[in-house]
Structure 1
């Protein structure tokens, strides 16, 4: 069987100006990066987004397992299928992080015949956006230490500096560090640490800003720490916001690429969904909605994480309202949620599937609770049996949801035509009544509690005294109205990654809270989740290299 990389290399791509023309983007608005990718001029993008009128389709999934679900693949397959049946469609995705590419997950450009391309370039350096975000983050870090070195006129308390450095790679050794060792010439030693770039506040700001003016304003509102008497110190106080915006200016232009079937795709921004808000940039989404009749976008990990944040953070901030939701699952993953070991997933086991389908049902019910019509995409594997597929359809029919068995990995657009038609039926029926989970006026602790109880089905949340006091301080500083971004394991509705299926009655432990004043949300870190991941025992990097012709091998 051909690998995703081999399939991508065998495809004949169209010049990027032809893809732009198909999307209605004039050639003068293109900033080419080689033959097959380009950025879209920001003046053109800004002029278009004032009239954004397309319909938005959210693709999300069940709680991920090692069996694989195929959310990005389904997003691409659905977009290709909608274009194939004559509906002008744009696909909006996140950019891949190097951490997973070299770690355990592999690339993030889809799979089989449902991929965006050029696959290798997108999965590695692409157009350099993540490097710019990393540089902007670390410029601010350098300016903090430089300000302290030259007299600390703002009175920053070095014990209360909240800003961390960043890099786009899994590196557990950098989670906690000590900076400025080596003597007087190197500054004042203090505790420091790194987050992965995709978890940084600069990434969140990049993805939530509407335009360059909003970008710089948000950067200026970043709170880097406080004085001894508790007064916040911002990036604007340090005069860092202008230089940070300058570093991000070119990166902020959305990236245009194509699918293997020639559908236009905007791939821009990339916050993780387990430790950040998990959606592509507002700038790209709004541009897509101005160019196309339909926009298909993905939110990361399971619907309890990426989709909840898409609906409670991104949509209210950007004034968006989805018209439909697709929840992706596989028979294999549902059997794993039902207790089957990965090695045994190829054997029919309807009983295990029925035990595991509760995970899918929980996610579907949650999306319906936001007022969204839902279609289930059952991503096909050759080992799926008619009885197993029927069991999923039966369980979803009880929730008023149609299940479509999709073969877009093997068949491209043709394998997702039935899914496209099902989604269109729900959109055209006008069933969407989108409403976020909570009102802005709800106290921060109650927002966390509502997500835990309504989405995770927890009995309560555990908020230690110091964490509760910190939340109260955020409210006193004028941030009580912002949404919350839960950072927790992606593998379970609980904070325990081994609790598969649909656990309920658990308590969600909130270990730490951080204010992302520029992004406009509070991060609640729960359980053992880390904002700087580590590499696995056998990272994917061990099998990636160059062949004798200089081509990359082993990249997913």
Structure 2
């Protein structure tokens, strides 16, 4: 295999990889031909209803991969997730990967894709990072069809008495476009609709995406879509999709998308890539249907939750694990020497320089993430994702610190070798041991707790805040939530991913700060309350030099500049 030192891109590695026909991957995973709906030679959808039931088979154990707070230095959580699954397969385990689908927002923007990196990738990388099987297009279409029907109902006499000033649902687009955050629609005269203020969210922040990913089957999806609140009447009563009578049409648009997508890793491990909510502004986990399908087909499911454990992992435990029986049996927290240095005050341009003292300063961030996972009744394994610039002294100090803290830890060198090589063997062994260790999983808070106190619990127990400040708008929304009987829903915090606080510049493990909640958005179909904190946006913007500037196609139609 190519060395980690080689100047090759993830795209180069993906193209050079030997990819097997998807029918072969399916057969090895126990998926019959009649359950496959092919999308070309290397990807397929699975009709879950056609999967055979194996009498006596227990659901596969779930390994949740999370991370310390991300930095521009990179943590490689998706890469580690894929590499760990391959390493477990190399150890003789029956394993599947369950990942989210990439959004075009980060792909065309600055973060990149979501297929892993180096020799720990899922394939076909180009397809997955672009349009894949069209799931995001279906979700976008369902969302925007709903909004067209809402505005049409108002135009056609407004039989539901909808107040155009109090429509809370937005149109969506799967790309970062700050110019669409606030718009006015219906201009141009009486035949053009009813003028009102509107706006766009990015598709991955939409409630349709959240309902799609938390549904357990097609019937549950229809029920969740029906419960979605789109706004309020003139007398402040909530209006739902069921009131419009269009949940059937929306479900019809999503009937094929709801089937999980089967692909493979470079090492040939089967992977289900399905759904894609962001973890900073949504719940950040792949679909329940994909996770449970992987549990039916394998003994171990390796899945990931977006960004740091304060976001994706907390939401996995308190939202996804409440929606379905997918509570993790083991948790892995990914760390890198580079990220620890940044949390220790080192500038990005100086990260190649050895600096054990900076690692010592930055480890406070990792310590809090580990402590947070323990609050859910699970002691995590720390996976140190190795970079070529890491020194032995830095790695040895971090492993010694983990040992002193009673944390099982391993260095994983899987970018250059992939999990099919020995670089992930030690980590795989530690995870297998963790799967056999006793655990007593619990949620952070009971659903009976008032919404305000749920938010305060997360802020104080997970983020380290001393208090929470609610804006006047958020306080009004709290009263609406209680009046409408939504106060027993879990909370989905929308917060910057870069800090425990709502200030992205406060690295490490800040304490004594106040978390600012500026608004609350009931997602009654998805089944949670979104708390918007700080300046976080549900429609991000593109950076000054977006990734799209590097992209092209070659003479054969292949992608150029895709990571």
TM-score if structure 2 supplies the norm length? 0.97
Q: Which residue of structure 2 aligns with residue 540 of structure 1?
A: 547
CA distance in 2, matches of 1:549, 1:34: 18
Q: Given the alignment of the two structures, is residue 550 of structure 1 paired with residue 554 of structure 2, yes or no?
A: no
Q: Which of 433, 444, 455 is residue 437 of structure 1 equivalent to? A: 444
- Quote the residue 1:244 is aligned against: 250
Alpha-carbon contact 2:71-2:339 (below 8 Å) kept: yes
SS at match of 2:398: helix
Asked if the contact 2:370/2:379 (under 8 Å) is kept, the reply is no
Q: Give 1:52 deviation, angstroms.
A: 5.6
Structure 2 unaligned segments of length 5 or more: list them: 1-6
CA distance in 2, matches of 1:359, 1:49: 45
Q: Which residue of 2 aligns with 1:503?
A: 510
Q: Distance in 1 between matches of 2:247 and 2:26?
A: 33
Match of 2:488 in 1: 481
TM superposition shift of 1:51 = 6.4
CA contact (8 A) 1:52 1:286 kept: no
Equivalences for 1:26-425 in 2 at 5 Å?
26-44=32-50, 53-413=59-419, 414-425=422-433
Q: Is the 8 A contact 1:49 1:290 kept in 2?
A: no
Q: Give me the whole-angstrom Cα distance separating, in 2, the residues matched to 1:488 and 1:440.
A: 21
* Aligned 8 A contact 1:52 1:287 in 2: no
Q: Does 1:458 align with 2:465?
A: yes
Q: Over residues 358-404 of structure 1, what are the superposed CA-to-partner deviations in whole Å (9 max), with x where a residue is unaligned?
A: 11111011001111121111111111111111221122223211221
Alpha-carbon distance in 2 for matches of 1:400, 1:103: 40
Match of 1:300, SS state, is: coil
Tell me the secondary structure at the aligned position of residue 114 of structure 2: coil
1:191 to 1:45, Cα distance in 2 relative to 1, 3 A: farther
The Cα offsets for residues 116-150 of structure 1, whole Å up to 9 and x where unpaired, read as 00000000000000000000000010001000000
Deviation at 1:45, TM superposition (A): 5.1
Aligned length: 555
CA distance in 2, matches of 1:537, 1:279: 29
1:84-135 deviation digits (Å, cap 9, x = unpaired): 1111001000000000000001111000000000000000000000000000
Distance in 1 (alpha carbons) for counterparts of 2:54 and 2:445: 31
Measured in 1, the distance between the counterparts of 2:423 and 2:359 equals: 23
- Is the CA contact (8 Å cut-off) linking 1:445 and 1:468 kept in structure 2? no
User: Counterparts of 1:464 and 1:91 in 2: how far apart (Å)?
Assistant: 41
CA deviations over 1:440-481 (Å, ceiling 9, x no partner):
100000000000000000001001233123123212211111
2: CA distance, partners of 1:145 / 1:232: 16
Distance apart, 1:426 and its partner CA: 1.4
The structural deviation recorded for 1:549 is 2.4
Q: Distance in 1 between matches of 2:210 and 2:476?
A: 25
In the alignment, what sits opposite 2:15?
9
Q: Helix, strand or coil: the match of 1:147?
A: helix
Cα deviation, residue 44, structure 1: 2.4
Q: What value does the CA root-mean-square deviation take over the aligned residues?
A: 1.3
2:531 counterpart of 1:524: yes
Q: Deviations over 1:473-506 (max 9, x none)?
A: 2122111111000001000000000000010111
Q: Is the 8 A contact 1:322 1:432 kept in 2?
A: no
* CA distance in 2 between partners of 1:270 and 1:295 (Å): 17
Segments of 4+ in structure 1 off by > 2 A?
44-52
CA distance in 1 between partners of 2:486 and 2:298 (Å): 36
Measure the CA separation in 2 of the matches of 1:494 and 1:398: 27
Deviates more, 1:366-375 or 1:206-215: 366-375
